[in-house]
């Protein structure tokens, strides 16, 4: 024991109080009551946080209880000797109906999911007024033919702006993104991959040509990092992914890889 652990040293030499165990037991018994009182008295944001934490604790407890209960059910069980069973059936164990049913349900669910080709099939149409903001130009600031894009955009590497006088759509630099967080649906891992281009924006063809990225847009990403190889032996370096969040609200582009 280190030299300055005085409490532990005293405990080692003189032991604990005579009624230590009893007091500890009583204190622990009281803890449930105290917790309940605290939960009743809390107000405001502290109450919200506490309730959230308590709920997750309870969820854990319930899961644990369920696990204990589940263990009693076995997926296979011995078939009782009802009449003669042929030799080739002697060692086989019948699957109980419980597991059969659950397997069937899981299979159906998987099929249902794979019916849709794209994770987000339908998307609300994006209005022009929402995507563009009018920028007034001219000497007396009366002309309103310029528009600034308020959504996240992707411009290619070789992009150069048109001369400012002729530029109709302004894509601000702060809203230009080059990388997307792409999730592989089977591996369930997310990679940060560079964007190659915008394939299709479901709202309008104009947005596609401008490179506006909103929820549901199909983009092409550079997957050479993943090291995918085709059947013929060629390296796959570009794949499509669909954007699953609102990038202008979150500050990042989250997408799901379309296999």
CA 132 to chain centre: 30
Does residue 196 interact with other proteins by CB under 8 A? Answer: no
Does residue 1 interact with other proteins by CB under 8 A? Answer: yes
Q: Which member of 126, 131, 175, 255 binds other proteins (CB under 8 A)? A: 175
CB of 45 to other proteins, least distance (A): 7
CB of 85 to other proteins, least distance (A): 56
List CB contacts of 38: < 8 A, sequence separation 6 or more: 50
Residue with tokens 């759509």: 169
Size of the site for other proteins (CB under 8 A): 25
- Contact status, residue 107 vs residue 129, Cβ threshold 8 Å: no
Does residue 128 interact with other proteins by CB under 8 A? Answer: no
Q: Which member of 133, 136, 143, 161 binds other proteins (CB under 8 A)? A: 133
CB of 76 to other proteins, least distance (A): 41
Residue number with CB closer to other proteins (2 or 163): 2
Does residue 248 interact with other proteins by CB under 8 A? Answer: yes
Residue number with CB closer to other proteins (35 or 48): 48
Q: Which member of 33, 40, 41, 43 binds other proteins (CB under 8 A)? A: 43
Alpha helices in the chain (DSSP H): 6-14, 20-41, 44-70, 97-114, 128-131, 205-210, 247-250
Distance separating alpha carbons of residues 83 and 87, to the nearest angstrom: 12
Does residue 190 interact with other proteins by CB under 8 A? Answer: no
By CB atoms closer than 10 A (0-12, 13-18, 19+), residue 62 is exposed
- Contact status, residue 185 vs residue 120, Cβ threshold 8 Å: no
Give the three-state DSSP class for 222. Answer: strand
Angle at 76 between CA 64 and CA 84, to 5 degrees: 155
x-or-dash string of contact with other proteins, 5-24, rule CB under 8 A: x---x-------xxx---x-
Does residue 212 interact with other proteins by CB under 8 A? Answer: no
Does residue 244 interact with other proteins by CB under 8 A? Answer: no
Tokens, residue 106: 């899981």
Distance separating alpha carbons of residues 36 and 205, to the nearest angstrom: 59
Q: Which member of 172, 185, 194, 197 binds other proteins (CB under 8 A)? A: 172
Q: Which member of 7, 29, 45, 125 binds other proteins (CB under 8 A)? A: 45
- Contact status, residue 172 vs residue 248, Cβ threshold 8 Å: no
Residue number with CB closer to other proteins (137 or 150): 150
Residues that bind other proteins (CB under 8 A): 1-5, 9, 17-19, 23, 43-45, 49, 133, 150, 172, 174-175, 246, 248-252
């Amino acid at each position: 024991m280190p030299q300055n652990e005085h409490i532990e040293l005293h405990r080692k030499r003189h032991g604990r109080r005579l009624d230590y165990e009893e007091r500890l037991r009583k204190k622990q018994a009281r803890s449930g009551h105290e917790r309940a009182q605290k939960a009743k008295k809390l107000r405001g944001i502290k109450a919200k946080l506490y309730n959230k934490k308590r709920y997750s604790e309870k969820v854990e407890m319930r899961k644990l209880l369920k696990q204990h209960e589940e263990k009693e059910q076995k997926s296979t069980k011995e078939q009782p000797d009802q009449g003669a069973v042929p030799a080739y059936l002697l060692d086989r164990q019948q699957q109980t109906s419980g597991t059969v049913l659950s397997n069937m349900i899981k299979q159906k669910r998987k099929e249902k999911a794979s019916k849709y080709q794209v994770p987000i099939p339908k998307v609300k149409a994006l209005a022009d007024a929402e995507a563009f903001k009018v920028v007034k130009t001219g000497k007396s600031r009366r002309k309103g033919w310029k528009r600034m894009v308020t959504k996240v955009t992707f411009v290619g590497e070789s992009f150069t702006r048109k001369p400012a006088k002729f530029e109709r759509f302004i894509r601000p630099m702060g809203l230009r993104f080059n990388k997307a967080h792409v999730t592989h649906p089977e591996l369930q891992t997310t990679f940060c991959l560079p964007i190659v281009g915008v394939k299709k924006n479901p709202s309008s063809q104009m947005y596609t040509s401008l490179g506006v990225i909103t929820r549901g847009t199909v983009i092409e990403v550079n997957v050479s990092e993943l090291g995918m190889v085709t059947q013929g032996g060629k390296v796959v370096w570009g794949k499509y992914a669909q954007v699953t969040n609102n990038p202008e609200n979150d500050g990042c582009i989250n997408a799901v890889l379309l296999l």
